[in-house]
Homo-oligomer: A and B are copies of this chain.
Amino acid sequence: MGTPAPAGKLDTLTSLCKRRGFIFQSSEIYGGINGFWDYGPLGCELKNNIKQSWWQTMVRTREDVVGIDATIIMHPAIWKASGHLDTFSDPMCTCKHCKKLMRADQIWEMLEDSELGPALKELHADGQPDVSRISGWCKGRGKGIGPGLAAVHNPDAVLAAVGPRLANTTFREFMILLASEKPDAPVQPCPHCGGELTEPRPFNLMFKTIVGPVEDPTNIAYLRPETAQAIFVQFQNVLATSRQSVPFGIAQMGKSFRNEVTPRNYTFRSREFEQMELEFFIRPDEAIELLYGRVVTLADNPDLATPQDNWGWQVWHKYWVEQRLAWYRRVGLPDASLVQYWQEPAELAHYARACVDIQYAFPFGVQELEGIAARSDFDLTQHQKHSGKSMEVFDEPLKLAAAKLDETARTAFTDKVVADWATRGKSADDARAFVAKLFDGRFIPHVIEPSAGADRMALALLCNAYVEEQVTDEKGKTETRTVMRFSPLVAPIKVAVFPLVKNKPELYAKAREIFGQMQRRCACFWDESGAIGRRYRRMDEAGTPFCVTIDFQTLEDGTVTLRNRDTMKQERLSVAALKEKLEEVLL
């Protein structure tokens, strides 16, 4: 469980982000546009570094993952197949009196802020949330109900994060209580005027547009609400061209759009955001059993360091959770700030086998950075049904393994699968058809989906990096130092180069020469104005891990001063040693 950051931290952070050019409000000079944020010069480099590190880790240094880059606007049939067209919606109510439109699942929160709040709070002050009933309420709404209910998914984390900041009871406890008592009741009264509200109606979160010159319903298309679906629809093309076979993954980074009714928490819940998604395709457990006699599960306590052919979905899922946690730690989030939330079976979407949220303790609460879901063969099966195109793969070793079974063994295997599928509510006919395909070496791959948000990661890194500390200078004067403690891997600027003085041509030229060498390798910043101490402070705020000063001694012995952002310690070393040191940290 992470330690929640202090509540006030977000204000000082957003102010620094604006002042130093990490994040600006989109279209600010026109009054802004709610739910859209731009990255300034430093923020843009930070986010690029996050994306590059993700790509390097998930694609370039893996032989079993390849990337794609698909369009944001795709054929609308994709969203029918994926379920987004029918269920990717928030419930909305309108007030019959004041005509205001609001999200049904946020009305209690609005009520708490309204003049009705104190009375309502009083009424439920001694109520206790009933987690299992909430889970039931959420069940099946899964991804479909929209992110507004994310808090309800994880009431423990919510209470731990929010509880200490509020007296007596909180609106979330209140919302949870109400939800558990009246799971399907329309919410009342209107938080704006106390009037009567309509029944909630679904509001689809996909942005709509028209492709082509004819404004006709047949030409409606959508901005993708996730990057994942492009991976599924291009699965066969990638399989055919990339010399990969299951198990393997397809990764994609890119913008996604959700027409959130209530964007909030700075950049956390935006209408336009960037995802980094992997779909890792695996054999169904039944294929593993045919191939290797049995399926390795977590009960076998397998070594998760190196993937094995006989792993079942459960081990692959856990493997990806560990891989992803390792990445979050490597790019700089401390273990203590990360929360793993394993969804309860009742919370899972009907097709999902397991889902873990990796959460971070933001100043506004513990919130999701990434979801890692075992989605079975749901997505590929849906696209096979809707497109009429086969999503099966042919697995030669599987066919050979099946051919070795005699009739008795085949029957026993089939009966076992039928019985197993029955426990998941699937028909014997479906199970038999699946096994028949399997014996022929054919199946639709299952998938593990680690789905992360680049902007959320940027925000988490900004929150985590921000430190104000009291430092005492040589003269004994104490001042507040604001420092962004980014890991060198993601820091927008890696090295700042300072000439000690600018009016000594030889020293200045030497500094320029060293700067030129550095600049070919990594993002560098040149600063020649002001006292060295002030230049350090500016780089502290930008989160630059290393400052290099060229002084008179450099001209004599070729050494420079390297100052470490976090320890503020300085050391002298040769330019060659400096390059090695940087390569070590940055590669």
| A40 and B223 contact, CB distance less than 8 A | no
Judged by a CB distance under 8 angstroms, whether A303 is at the interface is no
> Which residues of B are found within 8 Å of A27, using beta-carbon distances?
74-75, 77-78, 233
Interchain CB contact under 8 A, B383 and A29: yes
A182 contacts the other chain (Cβ, under 8 Å)? Answer: no
Say yes or no: is A21 at the interface (Cβ < 8 Å to chain B): yes
Contact assessment for B271 and A72 in the assembled complex, using a CB-CB cutoff below 8 Å = no
B71:A272 contact, CB within 8 angstroms: yes
Q: How far is the CB of A470 from chain B (nearest CB, A)?
A: 26
Contact at B241–A19, with CB atoms within 8 Å? yes
B interface footprint on A331-365 (CB within 8 Å = 1, 0 otherwise): 00000000000000000000000000000000000
In the complex, the answer to whether B61 meets A43 with C-beta atoms within 8 Å is: no
The answer to whether B211 and A271 touch across the interface, beta carbons within 8 angstroms, is yes
Q: Which of A377-425 contact B (CB under 8 A)?
A: 383, 386-387, 389
- CB neighbours (8 Å) of A38 from chain B are 68-71, 230, 234
Could you say which residues of chain B place their CB within 8 Å of the CB of A526?
63
Q: Considering the chains assembled together, what is the distance between the CA atoms of A174 and B69 in angstroms? A: 40
Check A29 against B241 for contact (C-beta < 8 Å): no
A24 in the interface, Cβ–Cβ < 8 Å?
yes
CB-CB under 8 A for A259 and B213, given A32-B75, A68-B44, A241-B19: yes
Stretch of A120-128, A202-210, A304-312, A475-483 at the chain-chain interface:
A202-210
Q: Would A209 and B211 count as touching, CB distance under 8 A?
A: no
Closest B residue to A28 using CB positions: B237
In chain A, residues 232-258, which have Cβ atoms closer than 8 Å to a Cβ of chain B?
233-234, 236-238, 241-243, 255, 257
Looking at the assembled complex, report how far the CB atom of A462 sits from the nearest CB atom of chain B, in whole angstroms.
15
The answer to the question of A47 belonging to the interface, with a C-beta cut-off of 8 Å to chain B, is yes
A60 at the interface (CB under 8 A from B): yes
Bound: A44/B203 CA distance, A: 34
A236 to B40 alpha-carbon distance, docked (Å): 11
Given A259-B211, A389-B29, also A238-B72 (CB < 8 A): no
Q: Which listed residue, B77, B259, B272, B587, touches A30 by the CB 8 Å rule? A: B77
Cross-chain contact A41 with B68 (CB below 8 angstroms): yes
Interface of A is mostly: mixed
User: Do A60 and B20 touch across chains, with their CB atoms under 8 A apart?
Assistant: no
Q: Which of A483-520 contact B (CB under 8 A)?
A: 519-520
Q: Which parts of A288-329 form the interface with B (CB within 8 Å)?
A: none
Which residues of chain B are near A266, meaning CB under 8 Å? none
Residue of A20, A35, A45, A70 with highest tally of chain B CB at under 10 A: A70
A261 within 8 A of B: yes
Measured CA separation A491–B253 after assembly (Å): 20
Known contacts A21-B241, A28-B234, A242-B41, A271 near B209 by CB under 8 Å: no
Q: Which residues of B contact A39 (CB under 8 A)?
A: 68-70
* Residue ID in chain B nearest A252 by CB atoms: B44
A197 within 8 Å of B (CB atoms): no
15 contacts between A and B (CB under 8 A): A26-B230, A27-B77, A27-B233, A29-B233, A29-B383, A30-B233, A33-B73, A33-B221, A44-B67, A60-B519, A72-B272, A92-B213, A101-B214, A203-B213, A209-B223
Q: A38-B71, A101-B214 are in contact. List 16 more A-B contacts (CB 8 A).
A: A18-B237, A26-B73, A27-B78, A30-B387, A34-B212, A37-B71, A38-B234, A41-B68, A44-B69, A60-B519, A71-B272, A73-B257, A92-B213, A211-B271, A223-B223, A520-B587
